[in-house]
Amino acid sequence: MSHVGYRAADPMERRVQSLTESQRFTPPVTGTVVPIAGSTIEVVSVRLDAELAAMGELAQCLSDGERLRASRFVFERHRRRFIVGRARLRHLLASRLGVQPDAVELVYGPRGKPRLSRSFADADLCFNVSHSEDVAVYVFSSGREIGVDVEAVSELRDADEIAARFFSRRENQAYLALDPCDRPLGFFNCWTRKEAFIKALGDGLYYPLDCFDVSLAPGEPARILRVADVAGSACGWTLYDLDLEPGFVGAVVVGDQVTFRARRP
């Protein structure tokens, strides 16, 4: 299970209808671009298990800092996933900015969330990325803060202890009320939804996890239920649930209002 962080397609396009927060959508994990929410939000899911022969070509678009970071991975599979994941991000951003992938400049917020440098301020493009094993999900929006998380569902021996420590009281009660066979999915529903929210905020684990509640029961609509003393329906954020390939769950959180950033003079 990944902890909150900002880690870090030749797309065939398919349009789907706008979604309400209670709906789910399925982006096939084949590099398909899926516009949602009135075509202002895009979700792209890809496989990171690229052919070894493509690794050298993909690495060419990385920055010197990214190549250095890749060289520090001990295990080859982790190095490969990083190179492919970051190269795909650069290609996806470049196609939306009209530049070459190696010309994309990234900067990082105080808590590590990546965003485009000021030289691309006119684009008003927000993005986020998450990966688990060999599945990566990228999300893009026009001027609306956004966060995504994807996880592989598994049975964790210490899931109950993690839920007691990191879930809110309301979430933990809902988790413990599940049938034992539903708890693994309920656990990762909650985890991905909470992580997507704090990634959208850009605060990482610095944001108190017990200050907000999300739904988690399998089959229950994905919702933010509360943020501090504000009801989820009035909190300014919308939660979407991702249906990925079998064995994976994911969530996207997007701000309801456009964030206007300072443009270049």
Using the 3D structure, point to which of 143, 168, 190 is the last residue of a domain.
143
Give residue 177's pLDDT. Answer: 98
* Residue 162 and residue 69 share a domain: no
Among 143, 178, 204, the domain-final residue is 143
Integer Rg of the chain from CA: 18
Give the 3-state secondary structure of residue 71: helix
Flag whether 119 is in a domain: yes
Same domain for 72 and 181, yes or no, is no
Say which residue the tokens 């701000």 belong to: 255
Is residue 111 assigned to a domain? yes
If asked whether residues 138 and 191 sit together in one domain, one would say no
The domain in which residue 164 lies consists of 150-255
37 with 132, same domain: the answer is yes
Let me know: does 41 contact 139? Beta carbons within 8 Å. Answer: yes
Kindly state whether residues 218 and 181 are assigned to the same domain.
yes
The number of folded domains in the chain is 2
pLDDT at residue 259, as a whole number: 55
What is the model's pTM? Answer: 0.83
Q: How far is CA 199 from CA 39, 147, 205, in A?
A: 22, 5, 9
Note whether residue 13 is domain-resident: no
* Whether residue 136 is found in the same domain as residue 183: no
CA gap 159, 121 in Å, rounded:
42
Which CATH number goes with the domain that contains 184? Answer: 3.90.470.20
Query: Do the domain assignments include residue 12?
Result: no
Indicate whether 178 and 163 sit together in one domain: yes
Residue 247 lies in a domain: yes
Question: In terms of domains, do 104 and 157 share one?
Answer: no
Tell me what pLDDT residue 7 has: 30
In a domain, 186, yes or no: yes
Structure tokens at 204: 């990482």
Per-residue model confidence as pLDDT tens for the chain (265 residues)? 433 333 333 322 222 223 333 334 444 444 555 556 554 788 998 888 866 667 788 888 999 888 999 999 999 899 999 999 999 999 999 999 999 999 999 988 877 788 999 999 888 899 999 999 999 999 999 888 999 999 999 999 999 999 999 999 999 999 999 999 999 999 999 999 999 999 999 876 678 899 999 999 999 999 999 999 999 999 999 999 987 888 999 999 999 876 544 333 2
Final residue of a structural domain among 112, 143, 174: 143
